[in-house]
Structure 1
């Protein structure tokens, strides 16, 4: 008989293994010595040790599923429970029990991790939905469109939730994208309609601008071009492929007209500058008529100057008030001289002036006498009142006397 700490072989060749529950039959060995029998079943034990060690390592270091780990543990436990090996089988059972605990722990950890990931995915998708719904109301078409496409890529990278939750969130997300696309499509359809209307309007403006380009009615045509430009700006932009061509035609028509006008105006400006020089010489000649000493010769001289003045054409607008003002000043001085002469030689006016002067002198004399009488009677209040009235009459008398002197005495 042969034995070791964990097993023995009896004289009949039966091999036993020692366990906490007592000896268990391992098998029968007839092919060799008892030592060889123990060595054979010890090797089988070592094989189980290696297999359990490998399974422990896989559970600890790989993503082996709990289900696969449980199947492997059950298979090894069957082999250990079959008692076909010699060794510390109880220790192997204890290791398998710990392995079961580890697998259960890992399974709970993974379940908790999956729950966290699912919760994070739900929050992420809800955030994507909220942003998409906000973008659906945006008018920043290019930026919002690019962002929505980026959100789709982000969504694809997130794990799925339960079918109901995932479908509900996707429905909201998809609806927001569709709403944005619908609004964008409507916007650009309206924009296309507006640009088509702008094209038709600008073609009409171009046609009129081109028809006016040969006009020589400078003022009204320039004013109409300004109106056309205002209408052009108010029309908005046409389609890109038409806008530049229409503008070039419109601007070209204006350039033709204004170039012709500038050429004509340049000639006119030169002519007006020469006219100004001539009128300044005439204004200087007219100013030499003053002061008026001989009214008849002054009128004749001014008439001669004025006839030559009228024969000269326009002067630059900004110089007109000054040079015309000089002529008007001479004309007014002659008119004033004529009025003075008329007053001096008009008998009726002289008689009226003399009569008025006599009336005022009589009134002044009467008031003076009344004042002296009031003073003599001690009625100073009445005298003061009469003196104030006398001051007014005296002023009128002085003025009348001055006017009478203009008639020669």
Structure 2
């Protein structure tokens, strides 16, 4: 009889394997030596060990599903239990038991991962729904629309939840998108109506602008163009193509008018600059009249200057105040000289001035006499009061005397 630690061959060629439950027959061998028989059945064992090793590797390194892994394990377990092989079959069974435990652990891990992924997907979809519902009220039509489309793509990339939860969340998500689309459609329909109304209003403005383009009524027409521009801005925007075409016509009509006005004004400005030069020469001539020493001659000279001044015409608007102020200064000086001459030669005014002077002189003399008497009698308080009043009357008297001197008196 030939044997090894895991099996033996008896004299009749029967081959046995040793297990924890005892020996069992695995086959018979008649064609060769017992050693060859054991080697043959040991190779059978090695084949089973290789198959188990391959399954262990698949479980460890691939995404073999737990169900398929357990099916493969049970298949190998049956092969081990019924194996016609010589070797440590109990060790192979223990390896299969360990592999079952590993698969069960992986099943639990996958179950936990799936639960986690499902929970994350639910939170992610809830967040998408909340954001979509917020966007549904937005008026940032382009940005919100693009964001909603991006949310749909994100939704499609998330795992499905249980049907009830997934359907409820999708209903809210879809409702938010529909509400936004309905509001956006309504907004742009209203905007189209506004733009059509703006187009009609601007067409009328263009027609009026074109009708005014050949006007030579410069001031009122320019003012009307400013009003038309204000009305244009208030009308809002028309459709882009219509807006551009209408604007080009509107600006073109204005350009025709303002170009013509500019040419006319350029000629007028040149003429007015020449007028300014001539009036500056007249002002210099008028200023030579001052100071007025001969009123009659001054009036005559100024009258000649003023006649030529009126014949010259307009000067540039920004220069007008200064040049006219210089001429008016000469005119005022002549008027002041006339007033002074009138006051000097007016007998009624002279008589009034003399009367006032006499009255003030009498009052001064009286107050001075009263103050001296009060001081002499020792009534200093009364004297001080009278002297203060006397000082005021003397000041008035001095002014009256100066006025009287103007009459040559």
TM-score bucket of the superposed structures, by smaller chain: 0.7 to 0.9
Q: Report the equivalent of 2:267.
A: 267
Q: 5+ residue gaps in structure 1?
A: none
Distance 1:400 1:120, change over 3 A: closer
Q: Contact (CA 8 Å) 2:70, 2:100: kept in 1 or not? A: yes
Q: How far apart are residue 262 of structure 1 and its match?
A: 1.0
Q: Report the equivalent of 1:202.
A: 202
Distance 1:377 1:156, change over 3 A: same
Q: Report the equivalent of 1:403.
A: 403
Q: Report the equivalent of 1:101.
A: 101
Deviations 1:237-278 (A, max 9, x none): 222112221221111111111111111111111111122222
Deviations 1:197-248 (A, max 9, x none): 3323322222222222222222222222222223323333222112221221
Normalised by the length of structure 1, the TM-score is 0.87
Distance 1:103 1:359, change over 3 A: closer
Q: Contact (CA 8 Å) 1:17, 1:25: kept in 2 or not? A: yes
Q: Contact (CA 8 Å) 1:8, 1:17: kept in 2 or not? A: no
3-state SS of 2:274 partner: helix
1:166 paired with 2:172, answer: no
Distance 1:39 1:348, change over 3 A: closer
Distance 2:210 2:365 in 1: 87
3-state SS of 2:214 partner: coil
Distance 1:197 1:109 in 2: 67
Q: Report the equivalent of 1:176.
A: 176
Q: Contact (CA 8 Å) 2:7, 2:15: kept in 1 or not? A: no
Distance 1:313 1:10, change over 3 A: same
Q: How far apart are residue 300 of structure 1 and its match?
A: 2.6
Distance 1:260 1:51, change over 3 A: same
Instruction: Number of aligned residue pairs: give it.
Output: 407
Deviations 1:46-81 (A, max 9, x none): 544443333333333332222222223333333433
Q: Report the equivalent of 1:6.
A: 7
Q: How does 1:233-252 map to 2 (within 5 A)?
A: 233-252=233-252
Distance 1:196 1:57 in 2: 74
Distance 1:388 1:83 in 2: 151
Q: Report the equivalent of 2:281.
A: 281
Q: Contact (CA 8 Å) 2:7, 2:38: kept in 1 or not? A: no
Normalised by the length of structure 2, the TM-score is 0.87
Distance 1:66 1:396 in 2: 128
Deviations 1:306-359 (A, max 9, x none): 222222211112222222222222222222222222223323223223323322
Q: How does 1:312-323 map to 2 (within 5 A)?
A: 312-323=312-323
Q: Report the equivalent of 1:91.
A: 91
Q: Report the equivalent of 1:292.
A: 292
Q: Contact (CA 8 Å) 1:9, 1:34: kept in 2 or not? A: no
Distance 1:15 1:390, change over 3 A: closer
Deviations 1:19-61 (A, max 9, x none): 33233344677x7568487676555545444433333333333
Distance 2:309 2:56 in 1: 124
Distance 1:252 1:2, change over 3 A: same
Distance 1:395 1:61 in 2: 125
Q: 5+ residue gaps in structure 2?
A: none
Q: Contact (CA 8 Å) 1:9, 1:38: kept in 2 or not? A: no
Distance 1:26 1:331, change over 3 A: closer
3-state SS of 1:99 partner: helix
Q: Report the equivalent of 2:129.
A: 129
3-state SS of 1:158 partner: coil
Q: Report the equivalent of 2:74.
A: 74
Deviations 1:82-124 (A, max 9, x none): 4644444333333332232222222222222222332333333
Distance 1:162 1:356, change over 3 A: same
Distance 1:347 1:71, change over 3 A: closer
- Between 263-272 and 82-91, report the one with greater CA deviation: 82-91
Q: Contact (CA 8 Å) 1:9, 1:15: kept in 2 or not? A: yes
